[in-house]
Amino acid sequence: MLYLHIGVGKAGSTTIQNFLYFNFSSLLPYVEQLESFGIGDAWRIAAASQTELSYNYWVKKSKKFTPEEYEKFANEFWDSVAAEVRQSDSNHFIASSEHIFSQYGFDADKIMLLREHLLSIFGEVRIIFYCRPQISWAKSFYSQIIKGPTSGIITYDQFVDEFSVHSYHWNYYKGLSLWADAFGDENIVARVFHQDNFMNGNLIHDFLSALELDGLVLGFEMPLADSNISPKPKRLELVRKINKFRLSPLLGQASRIAKRVILSDLMKWIDNWSGSFSKHRDADILKHIDAGNRAFNDRFLSGSEMKLPVIK
């Protein structure tokens, strides 16, 4: 049996992966992680997908592989996984990476191929899926574009106007339906990412319940609460304007220093005078997600009290 947590991004994946990483040994009597997948973050499952999204990320963007290295890695990956499982005494395994959902995207053929690989090696697979309500996701994702290494210069209005470009991240119904079609609805554990929806109000307690290990909570080291709180719009806008100079031969270094200062705790006071993102843009996002969320709620959350947002 493999428990496969596939995401999504901005929905507690780092917290889950930190928990898995720091409790590798403590978890061994119950579930094992594979070196061939990656300990904590099982990113190699996504990298081995050979989708266009995966190639663009691991070869072109992060430069983790050269094109030749990427092809060699993907060709050898599943043999290395099977060999490691054969050498293991465990019957239960766990893997987690938010890259899996976003990089397999809407490629049904690649998801079916993944199913064949996983079932041949593990026999049974259960998919765990935490989804963050998309309006909240959009603000967090936009913040990462601006404050992160991408150093984006797009405005929030432009981001919302181009929202459909990112649909492989936020169209949960279209994406998860492909996984359910491949692995079966009965093997999908879907939950809305919200503290009020977690067992005991705690993500890790909730995650352990999905692994059927909720009775073992006290035996593990719990990660610190996520302190990665996005700056409010006024501070983000300052960073966005500074990002425009990031490639300037004369001002590039100065802009990078200024960005670090504005994002530091010293400048948190700016947030006290900052409003929130425009509410009317929330309505625009809701128009994009309404139909898919209604279908998602019906198919995957029918027994859940908390649903994804829809137009009322």
DSSP symbols for 9-67: TTSSHHHHHHHHHHTHHHHTTT-B--TTT-SSS-HHHHHTT--HHHHIIIIIIS-SS-H
Contact 250, 286 (CB under 8 A): no
pLDDT value for 216: 74
Within a domain: residue 51? yes
Within a domain: residue 246? yes
Into how many domains does the chain fold?
A: 2
As a whole number, mean pLDDT of residues 75-89 equals: 98
Cα separation, 284 vs 272, in Å, equals 27
pLDDT, tens digit (0-9, with 9 covering 90-100), for 58-72: 999 999 999 999 999
213 and 267 both lie in a single domain:
no
206 and 239 both lie in a single domain:
no
Within a domain: residue 160? no
Within a domain: residue 34? yes
Within a domain: residue 143? no
Within a domain: residue 151? no
11 and 107 both lie in a single domain:
yes
Q: In what order do the strands lie in the sheet with 125-131?
A: 93-96, 2-7, 125-131, 188-192
pLDDT value for 137: 94
CA-based nearest residue to 8, from 136, 172, 118, 146: 172
Q: Note down the domain range covering 266.
A: 233-273
Q: Give the 3-state secondary structure of residue 5.
A: strand
Query: From the CA atom positions of the chain, what is the Rg in Å?
Result: 20
222 and 237 both lie in a single domain:
no
Within a domain: residue 157? no
206 and 238 both lie in a single domain:
no
C-alpha dist (Å) from residue 206 to 84, 163, 201, 212, 261: 29, 30, 8, 10, 36
pLDDT, tens digit (0-9, with 9 covering 90-100), for 22-46: 999 999 999 999 999 999 999 999 9
pLDDT value for 39: 98
C-alpha dist (Å) from residue 252 to 205, 249, 278: 44, 6, 30
Cα separation, 85 vs 34, in Å, equals 8
239 and 95 both lie in a single domain:
no
Beta-bridge mates of residue 128: 5, 189
pLDDT value for 7: 92
128 and 240 both lie in a single domain:
no
Grade residue 300 by pLDDT with cuts at 50, 70 and 90: very high
For the chain, give the percent of residues with pLDDT over 90. Answer: 81
237 and 185 both lie in a single domain:
no
pTM check: above 0.85 = yes
171 and 269 both lie in a single domain:
no
Q: Give the 3-state secondary structure of residue 258.
A: helix
pLDDT value for 290: 97
171 and 240 both lie in a single domain:
no
Contact 22, 230 (CB under 8 A): no
126 and 251 both lie in a single domain:
no
CATH for 105: 3.40.50
Within a domain: residue 53? yes
pLDDT value for 227: 53
Beta-bridge mates of residue 188: 127
Contact 95, 33 (CB under 8 A): yes
Could you please report the per-residue DSSP string of 176-231?
A: HHHHHHHH-GGGEEEEE--GGGSGGG-HHHHHHHHTT-GGGGGGSPPPPPP--PPP
pLDDT, tens digit (0-9, with 9 covering 90-100), for 40-56: 999 999 999 999 999 99
216 and 269 both lie in a single domain:
no
